[in-house]
Amino acid sequence: MPEGPEVRREADRIARVLTGEPAAEVWFAFEHLQAWSHCLRGEVIQGVESRGKAMLVRFANGVNIYSHNQLYGRWFVKPRGELPVTNRQLRLAVHTEKHSALLYSASEIEVLSDEELDGHPFLKRLGPDVLSAQVRADDIEALLADSRFRRRSLGALLLDQGFVSGLGNYLRSEILFVARLDPAQRPVDLGERARSELATAISDITHRAYRLGGVTNDPDDARRLRGEGVPRREYRHYVFARSGKRCRLCGEAIVKAVSAGRRIYTCPCCQSTGPSGSS
């Protein structure tokens, strides 16, 4: 499933062709939404934004198209009149005079007024979006001390969209590696310094993945490896999907385990639960 950085980059790409343009046509595959096509035709598209892993196409008349790609949804941006070569099923099309934003295979598509957004079952339970300009590492650190979250294992907490939104499986592994923490530890187990470093890692690694298209490894190291002809999958991450390979920092073999029902990757040396992890 795409994580927050990928959804934000997708929203940016769609926004570049839709924002400020009137909708020449809006088409829905789902019958219960088709009446909205007439209401949205001719309305100016104010913007496209992500909220965690969800996306909103926002119109000047206060109407929003909500979508969540889940595992299979995929957006395409094409010149008007062109369609991608794909076996996927088209679910939503937003056309301007010159361009089309086309959503295939997604099953979660809704039309909501501005007033309905805060009450939406998914949106209302989201924590702060890490990629929001208004969310700082200090805000995340305060949440780590909150009674709702402080006794949760980090492995489970970093997948909880009610804690902070947009994190997912690869970000979880990478954040915990950078913060030098074990997934079984809890915020309450950490000292002030470790909580601060974790909050900074949550912010920095998520923003790095956004800027670099999913790359979370050290940018200089990733650039060097890419220049040597190393495939992207080999230089992209510190530990995620690198089971059995050597840690980039200490040389220990990366270990794959299960945490909160999903695979997680750690370095048993760099992420020990010894004194440094609880300082």
Question: What is the rounded distance in angstroms from the CA atom of residue 152 to the CA atom of residue 143?
Answer: 12
Question: What is the rounded distance in angstroms from the CA atom of residue 262 to the CA atom of residue 264?
Answer: 6
Q: Is 121 a catalytic residue?
A: no
Q: Is 197 a catalytic residue?
A: no
Task: Say whether both 187 and 68 belong to one domain.
Answer: no
Asked if the structure places residue 160 within a domain, the reply is yes
Identify the active-site residue in 3, 49, 174, 197: 3
Domains identified in the chain, total number: 2
In order, the DSSP letters of 141-157 are HHHHTSTTTTTS-HHHH
pLDDT in the model for residue 275: 42
CATH number at residue 159: 1.10.8.50
Asked if the structure places residue 274 within a domain, the reply is yes
Task: Say whether both 114 and 204 belong to one domain.
Answer: no
Residue 254: how many CA atoms within 13 Å on its side-chain side?
21
Q: What is the mean pLDDT of the chain?
A: 95
Task: Say whether both 175 and 261 belong to one domain.
Answer: yes
Asked if the structure places residue 96 within a domain, the reply is yes
CATH number at residue 113: 3.20.190.10
pLDDT in the model for residue 273: 66
Asked if the structure places residue 131 within a domain, the reply is no
Task: Say whether both 156 and 274 belong to one domain.
Answer: yes
Asked if the structure places residue 130 within a domain, the reply is no
Among residues 80, 102, 125, which one ends one of the domains?
Answer: 125
Mean per-residue pLDDT for 43-49?
98
Q: Is 82 a catalytic residue?
A: no
Identify the active-site residue in 16, 193, 211, 262: 262
Residue 274 reports pLDDT greater than 70: no
Residue 278 reports pLDDT greater than 70: no
φ, ψ for residue 77 (rounded to 5)?
-115, 125
pTM (predicted TM-score): 0.93
Asked if the structure places residue 132 within a domain, the reply is no
Task: Say whether both 111 and 241 belong to one domain.
Answer: no
Long-range own/partner contacts, residues 195-198 (CB < 8 A, 24 or more apart): 195/141, 195/144, 195/145, 196/137, 196/141, 198/141, 198/144, 198/154
Identify the active-site residue in 8, 51, 53, 180: 53
Tens-digit pLDDT profile for residues 6-38: 999 999 999 999 999 999 999 999 999 999 999
Q: Is 3 a catalytic residue?
A: yes
User: In terms of residue numbers, what domain contains 86?
Assistant: 4-125
Asked if the structure places residue 185 within a domain, the reply is yes
Tens-digit pLDDT profile for residues 140-162: 999 999 999 999 999 999 999 99
168 contacts 53 by C-beta, under 8 angstroms: yes
Structure tokens at 52: 């965690």
Structure tokens at 243: 């089971």
pLDDT in the model for residue 70: 87
pLDDT in the model for residue 277: 41
Tens-digit pLDDT profile for residues 96-138: 999 999 999 998 999 999 999 999 999 999 999 999 999 999 9
Identify the active-site residue in 2, 5, 183, 187: 2
Task: Say whether both 80 and 142 belong to one domain.
Answer: no
Amino acid at 157: L
Among residues 104, 125, 146, which one ends one of the domains?
Answer: 125
Asked if the structure places residue 233 within a domain, the reply is yes
Task: Say whether both 10 and 42 belong to one domain.
Answer: yes
